[in-house]
Structure 1
Amino acid sequence: MTDPRSHPACEQEARERVRAAEDAWNLHDVDAVVMAHRIDCQWRAGSEFLWGREQIRGFLDRKWKREIDFRVIQQLWAFTRDRLAVRLAWEFRTDGGAWFRGYGDESWEYDAAGLVSRRFSSCSEHLIAEHERLLRWPVGARGFGGASLEELGL
């Protein structure tokens, strides 16, 4: 895997970076997500505007307490030396048992040290029935060989 402190130099390294981020989210590894960002990172997640690692940490803690059985697929959409565009889809249930699916696009910008300096998410969620779920691997990292967003029709 690429060193997270360097810029992705090729498409394979960009894909590895996206996959590492996906794994951190699926494992609920707050430290891995937070430490991939600058201490003063600017982050917009839907209607929330976050500045810095501590606000990101708080956001993730709230999100993962609310979103039970959370699973996400992140996929590289495009990249340059200091920017990545990512498509993603996720599913979770609430403590009341309702299932949701979300879709989104994210833009990640890296500083000279290879840390995310700005992250902007545009996303939406909607209620789904349990039988409509598509992301059914055991909670945790997805593993390799799973279906892509396209193969799932997402």
Structure 2
Amino acid sequence: MTTQPQRPSLPPFSAAEAVTKARMAEDAWNSRDPARVALAYTPDTRWRNRSEFIAGRAEVEAFLTRKWQRELDYRLIKEVWAHAGNRIAVRFAYEWHDARGRWTRSYGNENWEFDENGLMAVRHASINDLPIADTDRKFHWDGPRRPDDHPGLSDLGL
């Protein structure tokens, strides 16, 4: 019997399941709800986010709380790059502004490893920031979820 709740899709991932898993992650992160997002990770999850090392759900939740306090009007798009077995690689971009109204587009790649219950056990993220003008923003939607008809990264030329 499973001691941890399952989080569909479960590995090994098909191409369609990898896309679904990435979209679920995108939707959760766009909610900007640290407690909700943290539930997608194993209790002992390990992260490298830029130069920060994070261990466990409590640290994930604290990290995300700090992140979204300074990255305002955060909008994220993820795209699957590759997948095999219990691993998925995604590329992503997100736009946000600071308290002074200065906009940034952050680009990156993530490597994910999942446990047998579909919870993310390992996350490695490499991220670069590019200051942008408000007029250069490409992520425009209302509400926390990117609409299905909003262009993805490849469609936007990113």
Query: What is the TM-score normalised by the length of structure 2?
Result: 0.92
Residues 15-30 of structure 1 mapped to structure 2, 5 A cutoff: 15-30=19-34
Aligned residue in 2 for 1:113: 117
In the alignment, does 2:98 pair up with 1:73? Answer: no
Structure 1: give runs of 5+ residues left out of the alignment: none
Structure 2: give runs of 5+ residues left out of the alignment: 1-5
**Offset, 1:5:** 6.5
Alpha carbons 2:10, 2:117 under 8 Å: kept: yes
Alpha carbons 1:69, 1:139 under 8 Å: kept: no
**Offset, 1:121:** 0.1
Letter in structure 2 aligned against 1:36 = A
Alpha carbons 2:95, 2:105 under 8 Å: kept: yes
Alpha carbons 1:100, 1:127 under 8 Å: kept: yes
Residues 58-97 of structure 1 mapped to structure 2, 5 A cutoff: 58-97=62-101
**Offset, 1:33:** 1.6
Letter in structure 1 aligned against 2:81 = W
In the alignment, does 2:51 pair up with 1:47? Answer: yes
Q: Percent identity, please.
A: 41
Residues paired across the two proteins, number? 153
**C-alpha spacing 1:66/1:139, structure 2 compared with 1 (3 Å):** farther
**Offset, 1:8:** 4.8
Letter in structure 2 aligned against 1:67 = E
Give the SS at the match of 1:84. Answer: strand
Alpha carbons 1:6, 1:113 under 8 Å: kept: yes
Aligned residue in 1 for 2:15: 11
Give the SS at the match of 1:140. Answer: coil
